[in-house]
Structure 1
Amino acid sequence: MSTPSRLGLLRDPDFGRLFAATALGQLGDRIIFLALPLVAITALNADEFQVGLLTAMTTAGSLLVGLPAGAWVDRMPKRSVMVSADLARAVVLLTIPVAWWSGLLTIGWLYAVALVHGVLTVFFDVAYVSYLPHLVGRGNLVEGNSKLSAIRSVTSISGPGMAGPLVGWLGAPATLLVSSVGMAMSGLLAIRIRRREQKREPSERPRLLRDIKEGLKFVLRHPILRSIILGDAIFNLSLVMYQTMLLAFLEREIKLESFGIGLILSGMGCGALLGALSATRVSKRVGQGRVIWLAPLATCPLTVLMPLAHPGWTLYVAALGLASLSLGGVIRFVAQSSVQQTLTPDRLLGRMSATARFVSWGGIPLGGLLGGVSGSVFGAKATLWIGAAGMTSSVLPYFLSPLRGMRELRELPKEEGPELVR
């Protein structure tokens, strides 16, 4: 695919449709991030443990269907999986405002919706990651990931900024109606993408366990892929512990209302946007491999500023620390996603994505539970300290791998695979 202008891939109509669908879907998703816990906190008076359990339910899909999802997606039209998952998620989210208006909403209902929504998100994300190399070509993966990260970052700014006032105006349950509409529009836009991946005729009868095993072996035996998912696992578990208590800390200890919480989360989105806009340039200057560990090393320690904060100027400084975390996180994500996709053959893309998600995201439900338990026993502030320390330690697997000195991947003939360039 040629990218002759500054717009690059956005000149391609199909990538433009994926870009727009990503914007709408991510907008709905960012509103969920703020509104769903606030439904539990404000509408149902949930305690810290219940909020942590809700977070665990939201991400439990990675453990329940993470590995088989990759094997299934590798044998299915990936665009169709994305469309179906988006439309199904829209319907599931719609049940929360309906139940609330009917007087039937309970914490159990929220748990069920969070679990089903999380399972559908696993299928969507595996298909999404696997479809991008087919849509843009492997030579354009860094640009494609960077542009999609940029629009996700924009929605990280606008989503909480919209959600805060909407929650205050409509209430948290009704705000999820906006999320449902965003998911539905994302699915409808994805239907219009014309380019399909080349249909692969299986050489033998599909066997789920054999296919899962093949994906696991490929990822876990590869030193770079293995280090990436291990670092991600430590980071994600710690981040979820941190995030689980962040809303409770801001709402109950700093005494922020939903609008103020939305502004802080929007600030994180600003950092993510700067990271997406600079990811390609930083990767070229520092090295695609080195930036994967240097970015979190420079930004994760700044998360300790939040538990040190009080109402006033220290809170603003802590918000800048969270924005820096998002900036480094997106730079790392763009670089490592492109490395993962480049290192993986087409036929294993779904299983690579699912295996990486299963291992690196598998600890997220545990992180939600640990965050809830820690918040109940030690308090929200202490849990933020624990999460900050864990995120900083996630740098070690990257640093102790070939990524430490790797600059970029140079493509070799397909049967040989990529070569590390130091």
Structure 2
Amino acid sequence: MTASVPAAAPVVPAPVVPAAVVPAASPPGLLRRHRDFRMLWIGETANKYGSAVTGLALPLIAVGTLHASTLQVGLLGAAGWLPWLLIGLPAGVWVDRLRCRPIMLAATTASLLLYATVPLAALAGTLTLWHLLAVALLAGGAGVFFQTAYTAYLPQLLAPADQSEGNAKLHGSASAAGIAGLGSGGLIAQLAGPVNGLLANTATFLLSLWCTARIGHREPARTGRPRRALRREVGEGLQLLASDVWFRTFALFGAASNLVLTGYQSLLVVFLIREVGVGEGTVGLLVALASTGGIVGAAVARRIAARLGSSRAMLVLELALPALTVLIPLTGRGAGLAWYLVGGFGASCGVVAGNVIKATFQQRYCPPELLGRLSASGAVLNFGSIPLGALLAGLLGTELGVRPAMWLMTAGVPLAALVLWCSPLRRVRDLPTERRAPVREKGSRRCRSTRRDTAGGAVLGARGRGGTGQDGTGRVGRRGWQAVSVRVVSRPGGRCG
């Protein structure tokens, strides 16, 4: 008799989990996996910190060491912005013609050498106000080239999918560096003196120079585009800024916003000390606390844009949050200081978060061969309104008083944002990601412009001057530098750029 073989246990197949259900491992952060971006991020953070310290040290040297008048201190501040009006447009052309990284290295080296002459002249007993003005003017010129090249270089370093994260990290670290620079700049000046503090601060420029030099990415030689007359290439950047409804919208908004932001910021210290009655140490603490809004804005910008859409997020961030600045003139002693903290925090948060979205948009939307000229053209318009805002606020403060002038300047912040509200931004959900040059039709003076829609769908055609988008409203651009940047966040509240 044959022995019976026990039956094998039935094999139960493992449940099949659909691929869509299995959570994909999130890729490591950009700073961990991208060495070149890490070098750029460290160098730019050091650069922003050094700029914040220097921006405080130069006026302290002028007042404490050279006994400069109020007008002379104002001229010293204006000297740093004047190069944008003088050389901003041709700088954009040169950046588009040459490699960006060598320009950044040369500009950082020039700033390092220029600022080092100040403590050396003080040691020799030859430091004068004219020396400070010359350093501020020439270092501002180096900053024009650095910022323009930096804006055009980042899209070459990062893939389009990484640009949003990269911009968020750069803007967040710039806000943090600005806060640290404002806080430590006064301490350094108090412990070592403003002149010696400026000498110690050259270490930040050395770090920035070293990190930029360590970037491994090498740009190809720009030999494919024939060089034309400088005036013609400058005109191409201006024409792009003026003809594209989106670029034009953000440029006008940046100029109007910078006018009023600079206005109230130029009165802020006088307002807090003379009108509110707080001490100088308290002013620094209040400004640092309000400026933390920039760090928060950089952290949440991408999430808000993903949830609301980049266009709608821009309206919320640039209209709703900065509108809180109207609370600042209500500031009083004690618990009344909360009005300034809420208003300043909202402005910083909205400025930086909006810059993150706009920087990513411009890098994707603008033709790479025009990015330097477009950035410089927008920056000339944006930064040109900064000295006008300071002058206007000074005149209003003299004629009407500091608190009424603060009311007028802060009320202008939400009014400036109406430029965005009246633009195509409120009629679309997302900003476009691709721009096509307009094509002239046979037998017609009008142009037909085509581009892929923001969702990656079919190519759409539209008629009209400069082309229109899928809803017949046109395209979206961004405000100036940041940006670069866009707004400059080394001072409380930030600026549009």
Structure-1-length-normalised TM-score? 0.91
Q: Is residue 49–residue 376 contact of structure 1 (8 Å, CA) maintained in 2?
A: no
Which of 301-310 and 211-220 deviates more?
Answer: 301-310
CA RMSD of aligned residues (A): 2.5
Q: Which amino acid aligns with 2:453?
A: E
Q: State the structure with more CA Rg.
A: 2
* Residues in 1 aligned to 2:130 and 2:404: alpha-carbon distance in whole angstroms: 28
Structure 2 unaligned blocks of 5 or more: 1-24, 438-449, 456-470, 472-497
Q: Is the 8 A contact 1:157 1:268 kept in 2?
A: no
Aligned with 1:268 (options 278, 290, 294): 290
Cα distance in structure 1, aligned partners of 2:335 and 2:118: 37
Partner in structure 1 of residue 368 of structure 2: 346
Is residue 366 of structure 1 aligned with residue 388 of structure 2? yes
Deviates more, 1:229-238 or 1:387-396: 387-396
Which structure 2 residues correspond to residues 11-410 of structure 1 after superposition, within 5 A?
A: 11-254=33-276, 256=278, 258-409=280-431
What is the CA distance between 1:347 and its match in structure 2? 0.5
2:365/2:435 contact within 8 Å kept: no
CA distance in structure 2 between the aligned counterparts of 1:51 and 1:379, rounded to whole angstroms: 21
| Matched-pair contact (CA < 8 Å) for 1:228–1:398 | yes
- Greater mean alpha carbon deviation, residues 334-343 or residues 67-76: 334-343
- 2:190 maps to a residue whose letter is G
Task: Report the residue type matching 2:351 in the other structure.
Answer: G
Distance in 2, matches of 1:127 and 1:338, equals 16
Aligned-pair identity in percent equals: 35
Inter-partner Cα distance in structure 2 for 1:298 and 1:396: 11
* 1:385 Cα deviation from its structure 2 partner: 2.7
Quote the offset at 1:255 in angstroms. Answer: 5.4
Structure 2 CA distance for aligned equivalents of residues 260 and 100 of structure 1: 30
> Partners in 2 of 1:381 and 1:112 — Cα distance?
34
Distance of 1:392 and 1:408 partners within structure 2: 22
Deviates more, 1:379-388 or 1:19-28: 379-388
Greater CA drift, 361-370 or 337-346: 361-370
Q: Distance in 1 between matches of 2:54 and 2:412?
A: 25
- Residue 340 of structure 1 deviates from its aligned partner by 1.8
Deviation at 1:12, TM superposition (A): 0.5
2:453 corresponds to 1:419: yes
**What is the alpha-carbon distance in structure 1 between the residues aligned to residue 109 and residue 311 of structure 2?**
37
**Can you give the 5+ residue segments of structure 1 that lack an aligned partner in the other structure?**
none
More RCO (CA 8 Å, sep 6+): 1
Residues 52 and 373 in structure 1, CA contact (< 8 A), matched pair in contact too: no
Decide whether aligned partners of structure 1 residues 387 and 6 sit closer, same or farther in structure 2, where only a CA change above 3 A counts: farther
Task: Return the alpha-carbon distance in structure 2 between the equivalents of residues 250 and 100 of structure 1.
Answer: 32
One-letter amino acid of the counterpart of residue 376, structure 2: A
What does the per-residue CA deviation read over 1:262-281, in whole Å, with 9 as the maximum and x for residues that have no partner?
Answer: 32332233110000011100
* More displaced stretch, 170-179 vs 394-403: 170-179
Which letter maps to 1:21?
Answer: G
| CA offsets 1:116-156 (integer angstroms, 9 cap, x no match) | 22211111111111001000023322111111111112212
Q: Which amino acid aligns with 2:186?
A: G
Deviation, 1:235, is: 1.0
Partners of 1:176 and 1:258 in 2: how far apart? 21
CA distance in 2, matches of 1:103, 1:251: 34
Give 1:260 shift: 3.0
CA distance in structure 2 between the aligned counterparts of 1:121 and 1:225, rounded to whole angstroms: 23
Pair 243,140 (structure 1): closer, same or farther in 2 beyond 3 Å: same
Change (3 A) 1:316 1:6: farther
Aligned to 2:38, what secondary structure does the other structure show?
Answer: helix
Change (3 A) 1:406 1:10: farther
Structure 2 Cα separation of the partners of residues 138 and 337 of structure 1: 12
For 1:107 and 1:69, the matched residues in 2 are separated by 28
Structure 2 distance, partners of 1:371, 1:31, is 24
CA–CA separation in structure 1 for the residues paired with 2:334 and 2:432: 50
Matched length: 420
Contact 2:49 2:178 in 1 (8 A): yes
Q: 1:265 to 1:187 in 2, by over 3 A?
A: farther
Decide whether the 8 Å contact of 1:271 with 1:325 is kept in 2: yes
Shift of 1:375: 4.0
Partner of 2:485: none
| AA matched with 1:12 | H
Deviations 1:354-381 (A, max 9, x none): 1111111121122233334444444443
Closer, same or farther: CA 220–260 of 1 in aligned 2, 3 Å = same
Letter in 2 for 1:193: I
The amino acid that maps onto 1:301 is A
* Partner Cα distance (1:49, 1:372) in 2: 11
1:38 positional shift: 3.4
Instruction: Output the amino acid matched with 2:252.
Output: L
Cα offset, 1:342, TM superposition: 1.7
Query: Match of 1:161, as an amino acid?
Result: G
1:50–1:372 contact (8 Å) kept in structure 2:
no
Q: CA deviation at 1:9?
A: 4.9
How far has the Cα of 1:55 moved from its partner?
Answer: 2.5
CA distance in 1, matches of 2:30, 2:337: 39
Contact 2:273 2:279 in 1 (8 A): yes
SS at match of 1:307: helix
Residue identity in the other structure for 1:97: P
CA distance in 1, matches of 2:203, 2:278: 28
Distance 2:309 2:69 in 1: 45
